[in-house]
């Protein structure tokens, strides 16, 4: 059994919800578009197929997509018999699949940086590096969960948007759900309001599934109910994930996040993002500089292939939006909770940030 497969077995023994893993030189992943009603495993035998799975949202979530970068480069090394140029080309392809997801780009770059040999030596190095990244990602989830739980009080009701959990990370709780899960495991009596998250319904399909598995009381709401819930006092805090944090603290996250943050500020409700240092992009000065991925309009006019609007209806689907740092109460990372001024305080940990 290869080292990367031994690691996977260790994760399974710990009952972690692995979104992607390696068996006999082939990648396997849970098709997240089929959850919660079917846990279908897709076999990924090529980097091209992995890219298709990322683009089609079969696997998603900033942490899980970052892990795809590590697995994808290892797979490329295997399939090309350790050809460094072909491995680098595979990395360029993977980075193009989700342009807003900085974790994917950074992980690919980190892997490709190690292509200093060829043949079996390169394959061995890619496997070793992938194992290192997988372990680091899981450690991040436990660490940021511990720090984030500090802001959760016994009895809190917490709202989250989209899915930032185990299937979107390394298996424990991803980003936001690492915070929520840790607080629950500490014995705090909490309740979670999860937004359904149109148009893919990640909140309804996957966040609710994981909260049920964790045994955390929760209530599903539609995205346009958050204003009502906050104004009526249903919500004490908001914790969301992140796909990129700019150098000034602006946040790129699932579209709808900005709307929730505005309402939170209007109702004096703390708004946190849970992320990792790997998601902080010091090469991006502000949210205005983040490329927002525009997805196919059919994803809005159709659901599961069925039309929900009249034929010919035009639609718009920006997959993410930008929440200004002025609306964010704190940035939860594996290094602690970063407070304002973000532009200064993010830089204070920059020497320890993995880039």
Residues tagged active-site: 243
* Residue (of 29, 74, 21) closest to 47 by Cα position: 74
d(CA 188, CA 176) in angstroms, rounded, equals: 16
- For 61-121, the DSSP string reads SHHHHHHHHHHHHHHHHHHTTS-HHHHHHHHHHHHTS-TT-HHHHHHHHHHHTT--S-HHH
d(CA 56, CA 118) in angstroms, rounded, equals: 32
Helix (H, G, I), strand (E, B) or coil at 331: strand
* Residue (of 235, 268, 269) closest to 155 by Cα position: 235
Q: How far apart are the first and last CA of the chain?
A: 31
Using H for helix, E for strand and C for coil, what is the string for 210-269? HHHHHCCCEEEECHHHHHHHHHCCCCCEEEECCCEEECCCCEEEECCHHHHHHHHHHCCC
Q: How many CA atoms lie within 13 A of 44 on its CB side?
A: 28
């Amino acid at each position: 059994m290869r080292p990367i497969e031994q690691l996977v077995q260790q994760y399974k023994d710990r009952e972690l919800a692995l979104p992607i893993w390696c068996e006999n030189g082939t990648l396997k992943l849970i098709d997240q578009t089929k959850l919660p009603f079917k846990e279908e495993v897709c076999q990924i035998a090529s980097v091209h197929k992995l890219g298709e799975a990322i683009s089609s949202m079969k696997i998603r979530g900033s942490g899980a997509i970052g892990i795809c970068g590590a697995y994808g480069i290892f797979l490329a090394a295997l399939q090309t018999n350790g050809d460094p140029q072909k491995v680098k080309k595979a990395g360029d392809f993977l980075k193009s699949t989700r342009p807003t997801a900085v974790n994917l780009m950074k992980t690919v770059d980190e892997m490709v940086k190690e292509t200093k040999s060829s043949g079996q030596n390169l394959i061995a190095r890619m496997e070793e590096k992938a194992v290192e990244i997988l372990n680091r990602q899981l450690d991040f989830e436990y660490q940021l969960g511990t720090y984030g739980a500090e802001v959760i009080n016994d009895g809190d009701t917490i709202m989250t948007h989209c899915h930032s959990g185990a299937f979107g990370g390394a298996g424990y709780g991803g980003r936001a759900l690492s915070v929520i899960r840790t607080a629950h495991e500490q014995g705090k009596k909490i309740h979670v309001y999860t937004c359904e998250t149109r148009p893919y319904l990640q909140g309804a399909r996957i966040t609710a599934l994981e909260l049920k598995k964790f045994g955390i009381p929760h209530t599903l709401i539609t995205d346009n109910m958050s204003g009502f819930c906050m104004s009526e006092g249903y919500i004490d805090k908001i914790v969301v994930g992140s796909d990129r944090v700019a150098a000034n603290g602006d946040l790129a996250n699932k579209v709808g996040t900005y709307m929730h943050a505005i309402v939170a500020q209007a109702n004096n409700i703390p708004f946190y993002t849970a992320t990792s240092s790997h998601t902080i992009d010091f090469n991006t000065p502000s949210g205005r500089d983040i490329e927002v991925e525009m997805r196919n309009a059919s994803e809005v006019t159709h659901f599961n292939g069925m039309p929900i609007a009249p034929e010919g209806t035009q639609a718009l689907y920006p997959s993410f939006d930008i929440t200004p740092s002025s609306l964010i109460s704190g940035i939860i990372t594996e290094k602690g909770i970063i407070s304002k001024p973000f532009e200064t305080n993010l830089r204070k940990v920059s020497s320890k940030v993995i880039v």
